[in-house]
Chains A and B, each alone.
Chain A
Amino acid sequence: MSLSESPPLRVDRRLQSCWLVVLLGLLVTPLAATAFGAADNIGVLEVARVLGHKIAGMGQVSAIDQRIVWELRFPRVLLAFVAGCGLALCGYVLQSVTRNPLADPYLFGISAGASFGGVLAMTLLGGTWLAWVSLPLGAFAGACLSVLLVLIMAGSQAERQVERLLLSGVAVSFMFGAFTSLLLYFSTPQATASLLFWTLGSFARADWNTLWMPVVVVLVALVLIVGYRRQILAMLSGDETAHTLGVRVMQMRLGMLLLCSLITATLVAQCGGIGFVGLMVPHLLRLLLPGRHPMMLTALAGGLFMVWVDVVARSLLPTQELPVGIITSAIGSVFFLAVLHQRRQY
C-alpha cells in the first residue's frame, strides 16, 4: 500500500494552506513592512525603488529615501525577522527536548541572565562610549553565566534531568531578575529609562554592521537543528525510548540547551528581552496543525510575526515607539488565549 492512498486529512490541507500563507508573507513582507514608519511619503513603491537600486543597481533614488529605507528600516525588518525565527526555533527545540510545553528561553533563565549582564554593563560603564560596546558583551556573558548555573544544577542523574533543569532555570531566572531590579532601583532616572526600554526589547538599534552576528548564529543553529531533527522528534517519545533509538539523550538535551542559549544571548544582546514569542509560536502551530511538528514553518512564522509586531510598535503611537516586548506579550497572550478557547479539546 502506498502512502498516497491514505485519505488526505483536514490537517494536511491546513498544513498546505499554512505554508501558502507563510510563503506569501515572505514575498510581501520585505516591501510592505519596510514601507511602514514615521515618514509618510515612503510607500511600497519607494521601498521597491530603493531596494532595486541597492541590490540590482537599477534607477536613481533620493539620498533621504535611501537612508531611511536602506540604513534604518530594512536592517530593522531583517533583525526582527531573524529574532523571531531564532526565538520560535528555541521554543520549538526546548519544548521538544524537555517534553515540557512551557519551556522557552525565559524559563531557563537565559533571558534574565542576559538582561542582568546588559544592565550591569550599562550601569558600570553608562555614559561613556564603552556602554554601547559592552552592552552586548555583558548580555552575552550574563546569558552564559545563567546557563552554566542551570547546567551545574542539572546534575548527571538521567531520570531527573528535565525536572532539575526546569526548577533551577526558574530559580536562576528569579535570582537575575532580582539583581536587575536592584541595579535599576539604584541607577539614575535617565539610565533607568533607557535600560527599561532595552530590557523590554526593541529593534531600534538594528544596523548593517551588527546584523551579521544574529544572522550567522540563527542560521548555524537552524542547520544544526534540521540536522538533528530526527533525534529531537525521537525525544518526544520519552528518554528511554529515545535511548533505544540510538539517541544520546543527556548530551543531546544539554547540547540543544546550549545552542538555544547561544541564540537567545545573541538576540538579547542585540534587541533586549522579547517575551512570549518562543513560547507562543510553536504552540500556535501545534494548535493549528496537531501532530505535525513543522520545524521550518515554526521558524518562518516566528520571523514574520516578529516583523509585523515591530511594525505595530513603530506605528501605533504617532510620536514615539513602543517597546516591542510589550506588544509581543500583549498581542501574543490575548491571541493565544483566544485560540486556546476556540479549540478547547487541545
Chain B
Amino acid sequence: MMPLFAALALLIFVAIFGSALLIVAKLLSSRAKPSKVKSESYECGLPEQTTGNTKTPIKFYLTAILFILFDIEIIFMYPWAVSFREFAARGAGLYIFGVMGVFLFVFIFGLFWEVKSRALDWE
C-alpha cells in the first residue's frame, strides 16, 4: 500500500509544481499588452479561414480502436510471462506454452486479418 500513496503524493506534488510554474509565468508577464492580432491562431501570417478545431480524418480513430484491442491482448501476456520460468522449472513449460499458443493464435490471426483487410494501410 505504501508505494501507492507515495506515487499519489508525487502525482499531486508534480501537478502543484507545474501549476505554480504557470502562475509564476503569468505573474511575471503582468505588463503584457494583449491585442487582437497577437492572440490570433498561428496560420503562416494569413488571416485564418476556419475557427477552432476542424474535422479530423477517421483513420486516427480506427488506429486508436485497434490499439486498445491489441494493448489489452499484450497486457494479458504479462502475467503469463512473469510466471513462465516457474512453470518451466516445475516441468509444466509445454502446458503453459500451449495455453498461450491458443491465445497467440488468435492474436496473430487478428493481426494477419487486419493487414489483409487493409485496416493498417495509410495513403
Genuine A/B complex: no
Residues of A within 8 A of B (CB): none
Residues of B within 8 A of A (CB): none
